[in-house]
Amino acid sequence: MPAASRASVVSSFTIIKGAMIEESYAYLAQWEFGGPKTENLGQFKMGNFVGARTQQWLRDVAFVMSRRFEPEGRDRPLVLLAKAGCDLEVWKPLLLWHITRDEFLLRDFLVGWLFPAFESGAYRIRPEDLRQYLLGIPKRGGVTEHVWSEATLKRVAAGLLKIAADFGLLKGSMAREFASYHLPEESFLYLLHAMRDVEQSPRKVIDSPDWRMFLMRPADVEHELLRLHQYRKVGYEVAGSLVELRLPCASSREYAERMVA
């Protein structure tokens, strides 16, 4: 199946396997540009850079890595940063944004379910709270690879909450609660560039639903922009309905290269 056609496909396997943050970092840090994907995957499995205890787990990790990433294309900035030893706390939000480009359910959950729960003041969240949401996947444009059993629904719900916790959005184990999340400055700047790669309009960048993945409202984005403008790290000016946003670099890739320079 071509990569471009997978954007609406919902994979229970990748959600259940989880965020794999450290595994993703290790996989992309060892990537050799210009080499075939099969060769890079082979080297990754041979080197067992994630310390997998069983061959089955190593194969599962390799499958998720192959499914999630395009290191020679869309995800090249992530590779550059991992190879340069970017701080993991800065890198993690970028990883979340990148994998949600091609994981329909994870992005839909963060933007369309978790953020509204945050806005409504939800206190405790349990996997069973997600059942009706998951049953409505087809109505929101998602396509499951097969019909899910009740057991799969429960595992996917638990998997989504665990991924959100792994990225620092939630805390707790059985009953999750919202964490006090703050997006690191370097991560925020990278995401500004990445969103501008897609949408040139400053207002649309500020209002992008993608900020909801980091529990940020447009007002939160504007507040951070004003702070960065004060320290001359971006240019941000508003005059009525006109918004001007000047960023340090022309693209997210250029900004990533600047981060590792």
CATH value at residue 225: 1.10.10
Range of the domain at 207: 185-260
Judgement on whether residues 20 and 105 belong to the same structural domain of the protein: yes
CATH number at residue 59: 1.10.3540.10
With a cut of 70, which residues of the chain have pLDDT below it?
1-6
Q: Over the stretch 65-81, which tens digit does the pLDDT of each residue have?
A: 999 999 999 999 999 99
Q: What is the pLDDT of residue 6?
A: 65
Q: Over the stretch 206-245, which tens digit does the pLDDT of each residue have?
A: 999 999 999 999 999 999 999 999 999 999 999 988 999 9
Judgement on whether residues 166 and 211 belong to the same structural domain of the protein: no
Spatial distance between the Cα atoms of 99 and 240, rounded to a whole number of angstroms:
36
- Cα diameter, the chain: 60
Q: What is the pLDDT of residue 234?
A: 98
Judgement on whether residues 127 and 39 belong to the same structural domain of the protein: yes
Cα four-point dihedral sign 243, 248, 249, 255: negative
Q: Give the count of domains, the chain.
A: 2
Structural domain ending residue among the three candidates 151, 180, 209? 180
In degrees and rounded to multiples of 5, residue 132 shows phi and psi of -65, -35
Judgement on whether residues 127 and 174 belong to the same structural domain of the protein: yes
Judgement on whether residues 84 and 155 belong to the same structural domain of the protein: yes
Spatial distance between the Cα atoms of 192 and 204, rounded to a whole number of angstroms:
11
Spatial distance between the Cα atoms of 148 and 146, rounded to a whole number of angstroms:
6
Spatial distance between the Cα atoms of 181 and 176, rounded to a whole number of angstroms:
14
Q: What is the pLDDT of residue 2?
A: 39
